[in-house]
């Protein structure tokens, strides 16, 4: 009897405490009253699991760069939570008897859109305690914060400057977030543009879990400008052409369901504007191309709103209201998805089986290091591929020439057949031409991965079967300690990483400026030479280890005399100095470009760098550095920066930053007289270019402006492969995001350029600026005193995914003197 009473008391006590648990009891304030730091968000979900263990399961799936936890919360009925693994495996297997639909809700991918995470907590609590009837045939997965580093950056700043009682005056400092803002992650990347490219650790870890589940519905919760009300689907045009009628119809259905609740409360909202479904690396499009109903919800707010702000209408937009709106749409989404569960399952299974593409297979060829990098990205997305050997005969459409014919591959190739679970996503990432139903789009209009990686590609109208082939490097030579020198070809990022490690290990490395022949071997310009006489006795063993790590073949020679070219003792064969690198950061710089450079140097090259604040920069600060990265931005001409270059410094400049370095470029295109857009608005609808007035109606003004814009278009480039900037690069395609066309580089060289307007490969180019793109500089060098300025008019590190551009920047670091 005592045991029975004890058990009864325990059960009743647990029930009481579970029923008494609430966000207000947990925090001491109601959700929406203030911003919750990330560690408290984690503790709330853990407490929710403690109190409702049969309805929620928490999973930590990774860490951020700043060591914050990334978590998922699985919410469902007792029965469904108990068999999560079974539900997941049945869904991935596509069994006909599948009965549970999966809804994934993602919050706060942009850190300063901070009401989203607050809404995630309230939504999770309400689903368990008030709306559990929707969970009978639905599993809900909540990621409460995709970007904890950015969110805590915002929240911590806000509470440093918030007055005791939040001040709604828009001019108050608490509404003026400083550079770089909380929007990006640690490396200043926009994580909502990284779903497909997976350059960031948050994206890489999240996509592993996402691809385990491949949900039927995915919603990405955001905030927009303070004077916008609320946006939910249906989305705006252009829709990518592969998006099915069912996906379009569900967007309309969910829009009507959300509108019903907003109408009841008299809340303002809009649909079918601004937010399209084209660019594949968003939190709505990536899921869509994987078969889900992918959607974006946008609440007024972002980093300006704080806990409350007066809008242009004179109303005060509060944090509480922002949270409430997101909670309503979140619950509405689960409700409608539960109602449509059977149809969701049926249409998803149809999506992953039915493909009506012109091309059934793609073949991508190039040097093994580059091809394998693309293969690594495919593997992260669960896109299956196989290798083809050199000399494979194929019949198809060649991307570069745009001709259909018979071809024989000259390098190792990847074969991607679209008859697979992720076939639609593979098609979108590889397609040679993006079809636009409407050119007024929110982001870039082309991203063709073979061009981004500098590879040849072919589209095949028939599915190709692949013979078994596993590419390998030729067997590595066993390096002799008696060799005169060791030689490494300069032919990709693996070679660059080899060089970085060798220099870090104290090995003296030289470069051959012109290339040479020795025996039956040819070595291109930029090849690395390690002389035994300049290094320690155990250098052969050190080199062997580094070569193995980076999958590099090293040749060895017993003589410094060559058959053609310069002998190893000539001035063409110079020592490579270990770079001492600084990067400008601060208000005048574009934080996204700062992050691209920072991430590349630290993660791709593993190089130590120093971030220098532009606002506090002094002449003597530069003395210890051999090179300075100058990111995109608008600077005043800096006399001591110019003096530092004249004294022997190397400046590597991006975009408009060139104007501050005392280098003259001829600009032939008409440039915009409008203020540079902020990082937050970087990819919004294109701005009109200053031009001769035309008779255009007010309603058509925005669309008319497209005629003078280039919106993320890909061009084939002409290369001067004798120039150090082009060493190790066979093909290069640039991604243009501006119609500005630089034509003339005084006292310098332009080894990477667009030769003809017909070199346009993909993406939107306005008809008024098409011809102006001919003879445009893409990358160049100019001597200035004893120093050098390297110029990138197009961004070779764009969003970290323009893989072939990384070699251009590596050459700027190591090959250009």
- Residue 83 has a pLDDT of 97
- Residue 660 has a pLDDT of 67
Q: What is the pTM of this model?
A: 0.92
Residue 689: pLDDT band with limits 50, 70, 90: very low
Lowest mean pLDDT, pick from 345-354, 476-485, 794-803, 804-813: 476-485
Q: Which residues pair with 156 in a beta bridge?
A: none
Going across the sheet that includes 101-107, the strands are 56-63, 69-75, 138-143, 101-107, 217-224, 293-300, 230-231
pLDDT of residue 700 exceeding 90: no
How far is CA 539 from its chain centroid?
A: 39
Q: Which helix H or strand E contains 596, and what residues bound it?
A: helix 591-599
- Residue 671 has a pLDDT of 40
* Strand segments (E) across 454-580: 456-460, 485-488, 510-512, 516-518, 521-523, 528-531, 555-557, 564-565, 573-575
pLDDT of residue 669 exceeding 50: no
What are the pLDDT digits (tens) for 733-773? 999 998 888 887 777 899 999 999 999 999 999 988 999 99
8 A C-beta contact, residue 305 and residue 294: no
* Angle (CA) 402 404 409, round 5°: 90
Which residues, other chains included, contact 391 with Cβ-Cβ below 8 Å and sequence gap of 6+? Answer: 408, 409, 410
The arithmetic mean of pLDDT across residues 225-246, rounded, is 94
Measured distance CA(263)–CA(348) in Å, rounded: 31
pLDDT of residue 475 exceeding 70: no
- Residue 400 has a pLDDT of 96
The arithmetic mean of pLDDT across residues 88-103, rounded, is 94
Q: Which residues pair with 224 in a beta bridge?
A: 300
pLDDT of residue 79 exceeding 50: yes
Which residues, other chains included, contact 456 with Cβ-Cβ below 8 Å and sequence gap of 6+? Answer: 364, 365, 366, 398, 399, 400, 411, 450, 731
- Residue 696 has a pLDDT of 45
Measured distance CA(697)–CA(711) in Å, rounded: 23
The arithmetic mean of pLDDT across residues 16-27, rounded, is 80
Q: Which residues pair with 510 in a beta bridge?
A: 529, 575
Q: Which residues pair with 146 in a beta bridge?
A: none
8 A C-beta contact, residue 432 and residue 448: yes
- Residue 698 has a pLDDT of 38
Structure tokens at 584: 């400008």
Backbone φ, ψ for residue 247 (5° rounding): -60, -40
8 A C-beta contact, residue 418 and residue 360: yes
Residue 688: pLDDT band with limits 50, 70, 90: very low
Residue in the structure block whose two tokens are 């919410």: 75
Q: What Å distances lie between residue 201 and 65, 185, 191, CA to CA?
A: 7, 10, 10
Residue 439: pLDDT band with limits 50, 70, 90: low
- Residue 798 has a pLDDT of 97
Structure tokens at 309: 């702000």
- Residue 14 has a pLDDT of 44
User: What percentage of residues in the chain have a pLDDT greater than 70?
Assistant: 91
Cα Rg for the chain, rounded, in angstroms? 28
pLDDT of residue 550 exceeding 60: yes
Residue by residue, DSSP assigns 769-791 as TTGGGTTEEEEEEEEETTEEEEE
Around 582, how many Cα atoms within 13 Å sit in the side-chain half-sphere?
Answer: 20
Q: Which of 808, 800, 803, 817 is nearest to 777 (CA)?
A: 808
Measured distance CA(285)–CA(263) in Å, rounded: 28
8 A C-beta contact, residue 629 and residue 597: yes
Q: Which residues pair with 511 in a beta bridge?
A: 528, 574
Measured distance CA(300)–CA(315) in Å, rounded: 12
Report the C-alpha dihedral over residues 571, 572, 575, 580, rounded to 10 degrees. 110
Measured distance CA(500)–CA(487) in Å, rounded: 15
What are the pLDDT digits (tens) for 169-203? 999 999 999 999 999 999 999 999 999 999 999 99
- Residue 588 has a pLDDT of 87
Maximum average pLDDT range among 6-20, 299-313, 608-622, 665-679:
299-313
Structure tokens at 555: 């040749």
8 A C-beta contact, residue 230 and residue 275: no
Tell me the pLDDT of the chain averaged across its residues. Answer: 91
The residue ranking higher by pLDDT, 667 or 431, is: 431
Residue 19: pLDDT band with limits 50, 70, 90: low
- Residue 567 has a pLDDT of 97
- Residue 690 has a pLDDT of 41
How far is CA 597 from its chain centroid?
A: 13
- Residue 12 has a pLDDT of 43
Q: Which residues pair with 386 in a beta bridge?
A: 415
pLDDT of residue 242 exceeding 90: yes
- Residue 15 has a pLDDT of 47
Residue 406: pLDDT band with limits 50, 70, 90: very high
Lowest mean pLDDT, pick from 148-157, 510-519, 682-691: 682-691
8 A C-beta contact, residue 454 and residue 366: yes
Going across the sheet that includes 403-408, the strands are 386-388, 413-417, 361-365, 456-460, 393-398, 403-408
Residue by residue, DSSP assigns 163-193 as -SS----TTSGGG-PPTT-SSS-TT---GGG
pLDDT of residue 523 exceeding 80: yes
Measured distance CA(520)–CA(715) in Å, rounded: 36
Residue 113: pLDDT band with limits 50, 70, 90: very high
Residue by residue, DSSP assigns 699-755 as GGHHHHGGGG-EEEEEEE-EE-TTSGGGTT-S--EEEE-----EEEETTEEEEEEE-
Q: Which of 135, 132, 170, 174 is nearest to 154 (CA)?
A: 174
Residue 703: pLDDT band with limits 50, 70, 90: very low
The arithmetic mean of pLDDT across residues 395-419, rounded, is 96
Lowest mean pLDDT, pick from 292-296, 488-492, 546-550, 663-667: 663-667
- Residue 464 has a pLDDT of 93
- Residue 656 has a pLDDT of 80
Measured distance CA(338)–CA(525) in Å, rounded: 62
Measured distance CA(587)–CA(675) in Å, rounded: 15
Backbone φ, ψ for residue 132 (5° rounding): -70, -10
Measured distance CA(338)–CA(332) in Å, rounded: 10
Measured distance CA(82)–CA(67) in Å, rounded: 30
- Residue 741 has a pLDDT of 83
Helices vs strands, H then E, count in the chain: 21, 38
């Amino acid at each position: 009897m005592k045991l029975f009473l004890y058990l009864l008391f325990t059960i009743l006590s647990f029930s009481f405490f579970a029923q008494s648990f609430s966000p207000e009891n947990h925090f001491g304030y109601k959700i929406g009253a203030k911003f919750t730091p990330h560690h408290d968000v984690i503790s709330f979900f853990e407490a929710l699991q403690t109190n409702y263990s049969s309805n929620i399961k928490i999973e930590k799936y990774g860490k951020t760069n700043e060591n914050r936890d990334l978590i998922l919360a699985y919410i469902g009925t007792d029965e469904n939570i108990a068999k999560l693994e079974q539900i997941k495996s049945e869904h991935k297997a596509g069994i006909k008897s599948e009965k549970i639909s999966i809804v994934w809700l993602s919050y706060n991918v942009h850190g300063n859109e901070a009401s989203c995470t607050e809404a995630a907590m309230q939504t999770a609590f309400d689903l368990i305690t008030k709306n559990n009837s929707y969970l009978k045939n639905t599993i809900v997965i909540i990621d409460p914060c995709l970007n904890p580093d950015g969110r805590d950056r915002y929240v911590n700043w806000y509470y440093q400057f918030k007055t005791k009682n939040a001040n709604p005056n828009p001019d108050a400092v608490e509404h003026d977030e400083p550079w770089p803002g909380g929007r990006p992650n640690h490396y200043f990347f926009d994580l909502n543009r990284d779903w497909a490219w997976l350059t960031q650790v948050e994206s890489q870890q999240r996509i592993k879990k996402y691809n385990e589940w491949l949900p039927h519905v995915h919603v990405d919760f955001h905030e927009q400008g303070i004077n916008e009300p609320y946006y939910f689907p249906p989305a705006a045009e252009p829709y990518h052409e592969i998006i099915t009628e069912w996906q379009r119809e569900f967007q309309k259905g969910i829009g009507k369901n959300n509108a019903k609740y907003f109408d009841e409360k008299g809340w303002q909202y809009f649909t079918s504007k601004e937010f399209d479904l084209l660019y594949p690396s968003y939190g709505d499009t990536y899921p869509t191309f994987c078969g889900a109903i992918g959607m974006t919800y946008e609440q007024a707010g972002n980093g300006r709103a704080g806990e409350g702000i007066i809008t242009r209408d004179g109303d005060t937009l509060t944090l509480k209201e922002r949270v409430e709106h997101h909670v309503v749409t979140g619950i509405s989404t689960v409700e409608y998805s539960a109602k449509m569960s059977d149809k969701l399952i049926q249409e998803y299974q149809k999506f992953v089986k039915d493909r009506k593409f012109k091309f059934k297979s793609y073949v991508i060829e190039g040097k093994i290091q580059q091809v394998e990098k693309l293969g690594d990205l495919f593997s992260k997305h669960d896109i299956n591929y196989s290798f083809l050997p050199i000399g494979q005969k194929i019949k198809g459409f060649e991307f570069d020439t745009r001709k259909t014919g018979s071809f024989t591959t000259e390098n190792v190739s990847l074969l991607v057949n679209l008859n697979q679970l992720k076939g639609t996503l593979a098609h979108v990432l590889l397609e040679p031409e993006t079809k636009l139903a409407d050119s007024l789009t929110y982001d870039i209009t082309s991203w063709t991965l073979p061009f981004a990686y500098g590879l040849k590609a072919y589209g095949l109208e028939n599915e190709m079967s692949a013979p078994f082939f596993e590419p390998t490097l030729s067997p590595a030579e066993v390096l002799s300690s008696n060799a005169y020198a060791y030689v490494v070809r300069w032919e990709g990022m693996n070679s660059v990483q080899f060089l970085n490690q060798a220099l870090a290990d104290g090995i003296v490395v030289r470069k051959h400026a012109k290339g040479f022949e020795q025996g039956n071997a040819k070595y291109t310009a930029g090849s690395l030479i390690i002389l035994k006489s300049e290094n320690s006795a155990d250098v052969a063993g050190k080199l062997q280890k580094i070569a193995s790590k980076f999958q590099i073949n090293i040749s060895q020679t017993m003589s410094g005399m060559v058959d053609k070219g310069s002998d190893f003792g000539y001035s063409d064969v110079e020592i490579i100095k270990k770079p001492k690198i600084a990067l400008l950061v601060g208000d005048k710089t574009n934080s996204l470009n700062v992050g691209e450079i920072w991430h590349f140097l630290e993660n791709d090259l593993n190089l130590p760098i120093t971030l220098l604040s532009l606002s506090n920069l002094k002449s003597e600060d530069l003395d210890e550095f051999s090179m300075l990265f100058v990111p995109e931005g608008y600077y005043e001409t800096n006399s001591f920066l110019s003096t530092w270059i004249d004294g022997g410094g190397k400046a590597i400049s991006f975009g408009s930053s060139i104007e501050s370095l005392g280098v003259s470029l001829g600009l032939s295109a008409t440039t915009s007289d409008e203020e540079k857009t902020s990082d937050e608005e970087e990819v919004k609808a294109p701005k009109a270019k200053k031009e001769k007035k035309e008779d255009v109606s007010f309603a058509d003004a925005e669309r008319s402006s497209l005629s003078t814009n280039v919106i993320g278009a890909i061009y084939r480039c002409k290369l001067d492969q004798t120039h150090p900037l082009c060493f190790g690069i066979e093909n290069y395609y640039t991604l243009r995001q501006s119609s500005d066309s630089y034509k003339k580089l005084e006292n310098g060289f332009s080894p990477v350029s667009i030769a003809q307007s017909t070199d346009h490969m993909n993406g939107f180019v306005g008809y008024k600026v098409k011809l102006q793109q001919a003879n445009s500089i893409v990358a160049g060098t100019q001597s200035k005193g004893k120093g050098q300025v390297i110029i990138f008019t197009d961004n070779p590190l764009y969003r970290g995914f323009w893989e072939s551009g990384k070699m251009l920047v590596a050459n700027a670091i190591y090959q250009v003197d």
